[in-house]
Amino acid sequence: MDDVLTGLLRPKSVAIVGASTTPGKIGHTVVKNLIESGYQGGIYPINPSADEILGLKVYKSVLDIPEPVDAAAITVPAKFVLDVAKECGEKGVKGLIVITSGFSEVGETEMEQELVAIAHQYGMRVLGPNVVGTLSNSDNLNASFAPFLPLDGSASLVSQSGALLIAIDAITYTRRIGFDKLVSIGNMSDVNFADMVGWLDEDENTKCISFYIEGLKEGRRFIDESLKVSKPIVVLKAGVSEHGAAAAASHTGSLAGAQKVYGAAFKQAGVIEATDLSDLFDCTLALSLEPPMKGENLLIITNGGGVGVLATDSAEKYGVPLNFAPESVQAELKKHMPSFGSAKNPVDLTGMAGNDWYHDSTKFAFAHDWVDGLVVLYCETAMTNPMEIAKSIHKAITDTGITHKPVTVSFVGGERSDEAMQWLVENGIPAYNAPDLAVRAMGALREYARLEAMKAEPIQNDHKVDRDTAREIIAKVRKDGRTGMTEIESKKIFNAYGLPTVRTELATNEEEAVSMAEEIGFPVVLKIVSPDILHKSDAGGVKVNIKDEAGVREAYKTILENAKNYKADADIHGLVIQEMAPWATETIIGSVNDPTFGATVMFGLGGIFVEVLKDVTFRVAPISEKEAAAMLDEIRGAPILDGTRGESPRDKKALASVLAKYAFMITDLADEVAESDANPVLVYEEGQGVKVVDARIILKKK
Ligand code: ADP
Ligand code: MG
């Protein structure tokens, strides 16, 4: 465990620099909160002009404190923070909790950088600036200006918004969802989310890691750190700002919104994404109390048909669709219901279900091997007592002694149901006041299992590549002072990375074009080659299905003419002659260099699907072949690849392999390549492979 971070987040002693005698001031509140939270470590208020605050001796400087100090909470005005940081460094403080604002959030970026430089010079870490502080139930530590410690529990939350952290602190009591730590991360000048995942993974009192994120710093490191974590991570990502999309030169650029790339990155990092604040709580509750749902069989037990139907719909929606329970399971369950009940799935015990039926059916189902996850629903009835039902369910679950599969519960009713659910949560079973929420929670537990499995997939990084050729082509383009590469240059790089392209040859005059066409074999395709014309069709620069010599001669002249009309001073390298690829399913593969995550890879169906429906999906590169295969399945148009309406299935295996290889190429060339796409990539029938028909690479501006 990182000792310095531990000193910052679980300090054995805290100095409050800027401690104040005036109630209501932050420098006073922090001292008061430390005392009231029952903190047992040393509390040292610092203020040059006071002797005592809330009964504690006040020191003029941290340097005067006779004991060692782990953390310093800094509340002095921004202009004094750098000097304070130096004194803390001299004192041997481990971490600075910089509550003071007025740094990068108001444009004072240099001062913030200087603060970090000073801290690092002394081996200190900085939380903030611009934070509320940090809270830890297991240390009785409220080193913040949030009013109290959160309801105790086994999740820990890090928030980029201070105001939200304070609100969440209060919500923990109304929603009865407990947290061990709440950390306000502020401007993230030094300690960021990538640091927090690793530290919280090792924190013995944290079972589930929850984040409220507005924007990540060190995106790639966040993914890498998250991949190493053995605990569930759930994030709520706010902010829909799109960066540079409009100005993007490639198709992919215009499709890659920040939000899409974040979503992809979270998936890859094995992180579950919550849809809103309540969902963050719901998922956190389930993930902090229950193990992942490792198989696909969810069983639902209910006493009401209505909630059963609602839950069934939700099961579909949240990725845990119901399967019918096998006959043997149904036969046993029928013993715990009247003749008009249903033992299929959902299992309807009917409104006659009392404590015993709930207990016996829950116990049998939870213990049965076929069941991978259990949702127990209850509608309040006149004949039953919600608390007793809750206790029956709890007893049934604990009686089985099973801890490797999850259960979630929903009671629908009034105050008595609420109390029963609260009791369940306090006794370790996540309970929700609506059936769809219990199912959503189970969906999150299932997703966690799926993400965990994907995390283990190896990413191939030993592809046979001809780096020299690729780098030579890039060097030549750089020498010309260009960033846009022509199709033939791009394809040569694709080939150097083992990506299959249609045969493409450059002709610089009509005679060459004719002899190449004859060599390649008709029909052929002719296209303009000019770094000034990157979208060739727009310039009338593409002629397909040319069947003979006369056709080549005519197309050659027409394309040149069109190109000159399109851009009179275009630098024309010649024309390419290509084999005419037989028709197949058109797809698009692309990449942009994301400011947060670096190289990304995109996949979608080509033509109208990408133009109109924007039916594409992203990942941060590189990716495993399995991850690539998952991308093919998650676009809306996925059934087209599987073969619909008499069409035979497409070669998804070859496509996934090409996608993974492409992602590898993009990562390998990330220092040079800004954007790239292959549009179209033709996908043939199973076993027939994939062909890149058009390729485009745009280099970074240097
Ligand atoms: P651009 O995208 O720059 O306009 P493309 O090379 O993608 O140019 O060509 C436009 C369209 O022509 C492609 O989407 C494809 O439908 C068709 N096409 C281009 N080259 C070939 C080829 N070699 N075989 C078959 N069709 C092709
Ligand atoms: Mg194209």
Asked whether the beta carbons of 575 and 527 are under 8 A apart, the reply is yes
Report strand pairing: 524-529 vs 574-579.
antiparallel
C-alpha to C-alpha distance for 273 and 697, rounded to whole angstroms: 32
Residue 245: predicted pLDDT: 39
**pLDDT tens track for 118-162:** 999 999 999 999 999 999 999 999 999 999 999 999 999 999 999
**Mutation choice for ligand 1 from 525, 535, 682, CB with most ligand atoms inside 8 A:** 525
Q: From atom 14 of ligand 1, which residue's Cα is the shortest distance away?
A: 680
Q: Determine whether the shortest distance from the Cβ of 525 to ligand 1 is under 6 A.
A: yes
Relative to the CA of 694, which ligand 1 atom is closest?
A: 6
The size of the chain, in residues, is 702
Q: Determine whether the shortest distance from the Cβ of 56 to ligand 1 is under 6 A.
A: no
Place of tokens 């006959």: 327
Mean pLDDT across 478-494: 97
> Is the pLDDT confidence value at 244 over 60?
no
C-alpha to C-alpha distance for 434 and 379, rounded to whole angstroms: 10
Mean pLDDT across 662-675: 96
Q: Which of 612-626, 633-647, 686-700 has the highest mean pLDDT?
A: 686-700
Residue 607: predicted pLDDT: 76
**Helix H or strand E segment including 133:** strand 133-136
Asked whether the beta carbons of 391 and 416 are under 8 A apart, the reply is no
305-317 and 435-455 are packed helices; what angle lies between their axes, rounded to 10 degrees?
30
Q: From atom 20 of ligand 1, which residue's Cα is the shortest distance away?
A: 693
**pLDDT tens track for 396-422:** 999 999 999 999 999 999 999 999 999
Nearest bound ligand to CA 543? 1
The per-residue pLDDT of the chain, averaged, comes to: 94
Nearest bound ligand to CA 491? 1
What is the 622 CA–ligand 2 centroid distance (Å)? 23
What's the pTM? 0.89
**pLDDT tens track for 343-391:** 999 999 999 999 999 999 999 999 999 999 999 999 999 999 999 999 9
Q: What is the DSSP letter of 582?
A: P
What is the 259 CA–ligand 2 centroid distance (Å)? 26
Q: From atom 6 of ligand 1, which residue's Cα is the shortest distance away?
A: 694
**Mutation choice for ligand 1 from 693, 696, 697, CB with most ligand atoms inside 8 A:** 693
What is the 680 CA–ligand 1 centroid distance (Å)? 7
**pLDDT tens track for 76-86:** 999 999 999 99
Sheet holding 407-412, edge to edge: 347-348, 298-302, 373-379, 407-412, 431-432
Mean pLDDT across 674-701: 96
Residue 336: predicted pLDDT: 86
Relative to the CA of 527, which ligand 1 atom is closest?
A: 6
Which of these ranges, 106-120, 130-144, 240-254, 536-550, has the smallest mean pLDDT?
240-254
**pLDDT tens track for 24-34:** 999 999 999 99
**Helix H or strand E segment including 454:** helix 435-455
C-alpha to C-alpha distance for 345 and 373, rounded to whole angstroms: 12
Residue 247: predicted pLDDT: 41
Asked whether the beta carbons of 339 and 383 are under 8 A apart, the reply is no
Q: Determine whether the shortest distance from the Cβ of 547 to ligand 1 is under 6 A.
A: no
Relative to the CA of 582, which ligand 1 atom is closest?
A: 25
Q: From atom 15 of ligand 1, which residue's Cα is the shortest distance away?
A: 680
Q: By CB neighbour count within 10 A (0-12 exposed, 13-18 middle, 19+ buried), where does 354 fall?
A: middle
What is the 586 CA–ligand 1 centroid distance (Å)? 10
Relative to the CA of 502, which ligand 1 atom is closest?
A: 23
C-alpha to C-alpha distance for 329 and 418, rounded to whole angstroms: 31
The contacts of residue 210 (CB under 8 Å, 6+ apart) are: 155, 156, 157, 158, 179, 233, 234, 235, 236, 280, 284
246: tokens are 């409009």
What is the 680 CA–ligand 2 centroid distance (Å)? 6
Q: Determine whether the shortest distance from the Cβ of 536 to ligand 1 is under 6 A.
A: yes
What is the 433 CA–ligand 2 centroid distance (Å)? 52
